[in-house]
Each structure stands twice: as structure tokens, then as C-alpha cells.
Amino acid sequence: MQLVDFTTLTAACAELRATWLPSRLEQVYQRDRYTVQLGLRTLNQRGWLTLCWHPQAARLCLADSPPRSPDTFTFSQQLRHQLSGLALVRMPAIAAWERVIDLQFARRPEEPALWHVYVEVMGKYSNVILTNQDNLIVTAAHQVSQQQSRVRPIQTGQPYQPPPALLEASPSLTEPLNPWQERVSLIPGSLQRQLLQSYRGLSSPLAKALIEQAGLDTQQSTDGLSDRDWQSLFAVWQAWLKVLENEDFSPGWLTSGYTVLGWQAIKPAESVQTLLNAYYSDQFNRQEFNQIRQQLSQKLQHLLAKLRQKRQDFCDRLVQADQADQFREQADLLMAHLQLWLPGMQKITLNDFNTGQPLVLSLDPEKNAIQNAQSFYKRHQKLKRTRVNLEPFLVEVESEIAYLEQVEAAVQQCECYHSPIDFLNLTEIRDELIQQGYFPAPEHHSADPKAAESKPQFLRYATPSGLELWIGRNNRQNDQLTFRLAGDYDLWFHAQEIAGSHVLLRSPAGSQPEPADLQFAADFAAYYSRSRQSAQVPVVYTRPQHVYKPKGAKPGIAIYKHEQVIWGRPQVAQAVLDSDFKDR
């Protein structure tokens, strides 16, 4: 993940100063343990300023509005209590070439600051610190004790101290070529490393961009540069400093990452704010997507393994219960031949009533014949009760397995992250499992009502005849697709007795889908099921009015009637998807 360096921070702050000062603070919301958002309002606009102190993604930029879930963090409550109603009037850097921005809050723009919010964008040492007008620390996102750092502790009630001064030289537009070249080439080494070690304000991506913009190799040794190479690199160096001085930035996307200088950009960005928000939102969504998917997969595998073992145990006990009538027949047989019993007998051979064949009965030598017969009757009654008691539990376990297999199929279909919709789909699955009690809620987690009310993001495809095919990506979407949005003339598809997505073929009133449309829908219903790897999968289809949800059933569970069967081909659907991906 690309870190926010001095150049990027300068570009972001330049935009904010131009359009958001002064602005009134209306709200404070903390999204997670590393991110707090300030709701700002000017005469013309409203927005959310994000302050993030994440070790790998510390930043200061405008971002999307926060979720509607409750904020339970103490840090945001303290900021809200102290800063509510005040105006953000100034946001200077605390010193030249420092990545620490001082957000100053006052009652009016012309008045002195009452509170300071220091945003320190310094990699793993990033922090956000609130101080009063006397520069005493009131609260901090991350407090540092004396035991953790003797150089710069950060604790409530202590004076705020800036980070230790940088030792490298400061870049300057007035520095001539020769002294600059001597400083960089003083110790022979790779060009990128020597730039980073010689001057402050540089990052690895920036040093690499400077060198590549000059047409040089980042790993080239300073000893091997010609005078022309030095002149070319110095010209790019001067161009970078002029961009900083004039605040003339050109945000854009690189093949991997972003730039605010415009160099080697493959696509321009609307602004630095949208660039940073899009990049880090995507990176965090991607990381959290992979983490949530792994957690859900492991949890579902564990739950299904336990339930399948429980089902097997129930089935074994039911097999034993099938022997109940045998014990009753053995008891009757023994009672009919009491005269053949002798004291101390451990076995007795009697002819079976039905077959006439000899049958060996095991006896307890401590009991007489009647007592042994009573034991057989008791075992008969116990096994009969076992069947009556176990059958409802077996039905419940099988229903639970079917539900979790349906969820597992939805998780397996979320193979990789492509867009925020993929992340939203996976969080919906997680929230559903939390609601059903299968998955523990993360710390400070609460379901976002806005997400529950949002329009479902179904998968949508066009059939050969141009009809729409809608596919649910999780149980919430499956239920909405089948029981809320389906029309009387639509057709509902699902893999037969196999966990998978609900598929809806949208048909205009009075029309009849072509056979190619039915086959297309069946192929995709088979592809979005647990039998994706099979050559052929039986798929049922029927009208939505013939699909029902059993009373008390879990999300995504449905029963149907008046169905017809068609064989779906998952490989054909895969070929269609691969072709669409190449066209993009």
C-alpha cells in the first residue's frame, strides 16, 4: 500500500485550504480504531474530512459520509465535546518539510485558535492529538507512555512536543546543481537510496518517480552517471520543487498506485481528495474483504463439520432404533419358552416365530427368564422413544446444514475483490451470520441500517434474446429477488437440491422465453451453485408464485412446486464470463 508522503500531504492540504477554510464543525464520527471523520459545512458545501492514523494508510482528505451505525469510541466523543460548533479556520504545517498539520479551531475566522488538532502523518508513528490553546494535550488517538518512548511520550495533560527534527538537508529551489550533485554523490550507491538519504521530504515512490521521469534507472549507481544524466535529474528535481512552491498539482492514477505530480499517470483524477479517498477505500476494502472471506470460510467449514458429525451420530442411533421390533420379538419368544430356561444360562437357542430358524438370545445369568424378557421389552421401548425424539432433531440439523451450505456457496462465489459492491456483498453475509448467532460480532461492530435499506446489487446479465437475468449474491438478495421483486411472468431458477443462488429470468407480460434463454438461465444457475465444477447440473425452474418460504425458515431457504428440470452447464457460463472480462 502506498504511503502518503510529504508531497501528497501538501497537495491534499492545498486543496482543503482553497475550498474548505473557514468551515464549521457540525459532527464528529469515528469509523474504526484508526479513522475519525469531521463533518464540515461552509457557505456552499458540506463534507466529511477524514483523519486517519493507520500505520500503513495515514492520511488527511475528504471522504464519503460515514455509516449510520452508532459511534462507541471515546476519542471521537472527546473531540465532539470540545470542538462542536467551532470553526476550522487554519491548517498550517507545524514546520517546513514536516508531515504534521495543525488544524486550528476558533469561534470565528479572525479570532485566535481555542483548540488544535495535530494530524501526524508519519507511517507507523502516525497520530491525531487534541490540545487546548495552551498546547496541553487533552486527548490523543494513540497515547505513548514513558516506557514506550523516552524521546517523545504523548499523554494527557502533558505539553505537546513536535516530532524530533529531521537530520537530512532541506530541498531548495535556490540550491545550484553542483552542491546538489555533490551531496547526492558523496557516498557512492544506488541513485534512489542516495536521494532518500540526502534530503528530507522524499519517499521511495517519489524518488523512483523523479529518477524515471529523468529517464534513468533507480538502481543505477551515482558513480555511473554522466553530466547529462545529472543535469536531466536536476531539472526534474527543480520541477518537483516548483510544483510544491506553486501548489500546482496534477493528481492521477498510475498502473499501480497514484501520483499528485501527473508524471507517468495513465488516467487523471478529479482532485487529490477523490484520488486519496478512492485509493485507500479500495485498498482497505480489498484487505478486509480477504480477511472476512477467510474468517467466514473457516467458520463455516468448522460449523458444517460439527453438524455433519452430529447428523451421522443421529443416523447411527436411528439405525439402532430400527432394531426395536427385534427386541420385542425376542422378548415374546423368551416368554413363550420359559420352561426351557435354566438358572445361570448365558445363551438360549429358540426357533423364530416367523421363519422357524434357530435364534440365539443372549441372557443375563444373574436374572431369571422373566427378568431377561423384561429387559428386552425395556430396550424395545427405549429404542422406540429414541426414534420419536431423534427425528425432529435430525430434521433440524439437516435444515441447518442446508442453510449453512447455502451461505458457504455464497461465500465461495466471492472469489476476489473487484469493486466496493463485492465488499458490501460479503459484509451482508457476515452480518446475516452475526444476526443468526453463528459468527461473533467484531469489536465496535453494529450493522449499518443504511446498508440494509440500500438497493440490492444483483448480478445482471443479458440472455441471447435480450432478456434480463438477475442473480442473488447472498441470502438477503435471494429473498428480495424471489419474494419481493419477482413478477408473475418471470421464471425462477435454482440448482435442484443443491445450495446456490436464486436466479430470476425477467420476462415481459404475455411473452414466452426462447429455449436459448432458458438454457442460458440454467447455465448460470448451475454456475452460481456448489456444483460449479460439475459438467452438468440439474436445474429446476418454475413461476415465482409457486415458490414459498417455509414458516420460520432461515434467510435464503425456499420450497417450490410445479417445477420443470433442465440441465445446466457451468462451463458454458464460465466461458461467457471470461469473454465479457476480455472485452472489458
C-alpha to C-alpha distance for 399 and 387, rounded to whole angstroms: 18
Q: Give the span between the Cα atoms of 117 and 140, in whole angstroms.
A: 9
Assign 445 to helix, strand or coil: coil
Of the listed ranges 31-45, 306-320, 441-455, 544-558, the least confidently predicted one is 441-455
Q: CA angle, corner 123, sides to 120 and 128, nearest 5? A: 25
Which string of DSSP letters, residue by residue, matches 211-222? Answer: HHHTT--TT-BG
User: Which residues neighbour 552 within 8 Å (Cβ) at sequence distance 6 or greater?
Assistant: none
Q: Look at residue 323 and tell me whether its pLDDT is greater than 80.
A: no
Q: Give me the domains of the chain, ranges plus CATH numbers.
A: 6-140 (2.30.310.10), 177-269 (1.10.8), 318-399 (no CATH), 456-583 (no CATH)
Q: pLDDT-derived band of residue 258, with 50, 70 and 90 as boundaries?
A: very high
The angle formed by the CA atoms of residues 56, 58 and 61, to the nearest 5 degrees, is 140
Rounded Cα–Cα distance for residues 125 and 111 (Å): 32
Q: What's the predicted TM-score (pTM) here?
A: 0.76
Residues 6+ apart with CB under 8 A from 532: 412, 526, 570
**Is pLDDT above 70 for 444?**
no
Query: Which pLDDT belongs to residue 296?
Result: 92
Best CA proximity match to 194, nearest among 184, 202, 186: 184
Given this model, what pLDDT does residue 386 score? 78
461 vs 68, 91, 458, CA distance in Å?
32, 49, 10
How far, in Å, are 42, 522, 548 from residue 526 at the CA level? 53, 6, 21
Alpha-carbon span 470 to 265, nearest angstrom: 37
Q: Break the chain down into helix, strand, coil percent, rounded to 5.
A: 45, 20, 40
Q: Kindly report the number of other CB atoms within 10 A of residue 256's CB atom.
A: 7
Q: Give the C-alpha separation, 150 to 146, whole Å.
A: 5
Question: Residue 448 has what pLDDT?
Answer: 52
pLDDT digits (tens, 9 = 90+) for 365-411: 989 998 989 998 888 888 788 777 888 888 889 989 989 998 998 89
Q: What cell was used for 74?
A: 471515546
Q: Indicate the average pLDDT of the chain.
A: 90
The tens digit of pLDDT for each residue in 162-195 reads 998 888 899 999 999 999 999 999 888 899 999 9
Q: How many angstroms separate the CA atoms of 230 and 114, rounded?
A: 49
pLDDT at 446 over 60: no
**Closest C-alpha to 121, from 45, 208, 53:** 53
Q: Measure CA of the first residue to CA of the last residue in the chain; give whole Å.
A: 25
At residue 161, the pLDDT reads: 92
Strand ranges of the sheet holding 115-120, from the earlier edge strand across to the other edge? 59-63, 46-52, 35-41, 23-32, 87-90, 100-106, 115-120, 127-132, 137-140
What are 335's three cell numbers?
416368554
Length of the chain: 584
Reported confidence tier of residue 569, pLDDT bands at 50, 70, 90: very high
CB 555 within 8 A of CB 537: no
Tell me what pLDDT residue 81 has. 94
- 437 conformational bin, left if phi > 0, alpha if psi -120 to 50, beta if neither: left
* Structure confidence at residue 443 as a pLDDT band (50, 70, 90): low
pLDDT digits (tens, 9 = 90+) for 413-437: 888 888 888 888 888 899 889 988 8
DSSP run (H or E) holding 178 = helix 177-184
Tens of pLDDT, residues 476-521: 899 999 999 999 899 999 999 899 999 999 988 878 899 999 999 9
CB 77 within 8 A of CB 141: no
